[in-house]
Amino acid sequence: MPGRTVLISGASVAGPALAYWLEAAGWQATIVERAAELRSEGQNIDIRGAAREVVRRMGLEDTIRAAGTGEEGTRIVDAGGRTRASFPATRSDTAGATAELEILRGELSRIVVAQTSAEYLFGTTITAVHEDEDGVAVSFTDGPDRRFDVVVLAEGMRSRTRTQVFGTEARIRHLGMYTSYFTIPKKPGDPDWWQWYNAVGGRNLGLRPDNLGTMRATLSFLSPPRGYEDLGQDEQKQLLHRVFRDAGWEAPRMLAAMDDAELYFENLGQVFAPTWHRGRIALLGDAAYCASPLSGMGTSLALVGAYVLGGELSRATSHREAFANYERLMRPYVDKAQKLIPGGPRLANPKSRLGIKVLQTTMGVAARIGSLSLLTPPADKFELPTYS
């Protein structure tokens, strides 16, 4: 289908990456993004396995490495900050908690967007889609209605347009954990390591270095779904103060700095959709198959998915054929990536003091024998098709 028009909703990683591949094949891309500007929040994300080959084919591997976080590895620490287990960054494409190509999500998004010449409409969302024989008519919150040959939703895990088009078919499986990300000032003595600390009650605190002279903080806690993700940011901060005030380690510093920071707060989950396309509309990235940050695979799936969808749309004779091929090629890869370590968040966040001791000892042993398989899912095998 050479030289067609595509509307992509969502300007994070998956959406702009798809625009890149379609533009290379002569398509015109328009991207709508709900946020008023490109979002910069988020922490370190990994580019693994086949996704690494994708960024190589985009000519971006060196740019991404140069913008890497410089994280030297992962340390499990105790309340006194003493290291209980240590996993240095790996040069492997596929294994380990800290990948060799590790970059802030916002930085990756910025780099990919800069490679595209798409039309970006910020502060805009789709309000209605109407499909006919020749294309899709789309209405927006802002501006006139427009027509496109195909529409791709790359709106992340809680995509609202997905619900509009696919109804409740796509299911979000909650993983029983809330997590929040924010950026805090770096202080002298902060190591260039990801420090991970478990506190009783199924809580964990993380501090990671970045390449921008600040530290990336994470506060996570086990909880059944309670709708906290829908609270306002001030209420979410109050909640985090209540949950973490007695957590120990760097909790006081992190909570104090959080009050001045932009917070990204989410109910961890995975998306399972029985189909990724309906007529001329397709799902991509987290909107289709969110694997959750626990998998370490979300961004890799988004990059590989964008490559395959872009390639199939460029070479197929119809959108039907392209979407069917995209789903057939990607399903097995996604299924593997979505398989989390049995026990998932509960295993990594024990509730009792004894549980934390057992976890620290197990991690210590794993570190000594150099076993990193505990920390990554087996999702490294995907044969990238070649598209002209």
For ligand FAD (CB under 6 A), the number of binding residues is 32
Binds ligand FAD (CB under 6 A): choice among 299, 314, 325, 349: 299
The structure tokens 């039907």 sit at 320
Residue 181 binds ligand FAD (CB under 6 A): yes
Min. distance of Cβ 53 from ligand FAD in angstroms?
17
Min. distance of Cβ 80 from ligand FAD in angstroms?
27
Nearest residue (CB) to ligand FAD, 297 versus 322: 297
Residue 69 binds ligand FAD (CB under 6 A): no
> Do residues 41 and 106 lie in contact, with contact meaning Cβ atoms separated by under 8 Å?
yes
DSSP-assigned letter for residue 12:
S
Min. distance of Cβ 194 from ligand FAD in angstroms?
12
> Do residues 387 and 101 lie in contact, with contact meaning Cβ atoms separated by under 8 Å?
no
DSSP-assigned letter for residue 341:
P
Give the residue among 43, 120, 118, 81 at the shortest CA–CA distance from 296.
Answer: 43
Q: Which stretch binds ligand FAD (CB under 6 A): 34-42, 79-87, 240-248, 331-339?
A: 34-42
Task: HSE, CB side, 13 Å, CA atoms: give it for residue 186.
Answer: 15
Give the residue among 92, 124, 164, 173 at the shortest CA–CA distance from 378.
Answer: 92
* Residue 271 structure tokens: 């998306």
Q: Which stretch binds ligand FAD (CB under 6 A): 148-156, 308-316, 348-356, 368-376?
A: 148-156
Nearest residue (CB) to ligand FAD, 192 versus 246: 192
> Do residues 263 and 11 lie in contact, with contact meaning Cβ atoms separated by under 8 Å?
no
> For ligand FAD, which residue has the nearest CB?
285
Residue 103's φ and ψ, nearest 5 degrees, are -145, 155
Nearest residue (CB) to ligand FAD, 202 versus 293: 293
Q: Give the interface with ligand FAD as residue ranges (CB under 6 A).
A: 9-15, 32-35, 39, 41-43, 45, 105, 125, 154-156, 159-161, 181, 264, 285-286, 293, 298-299, 302
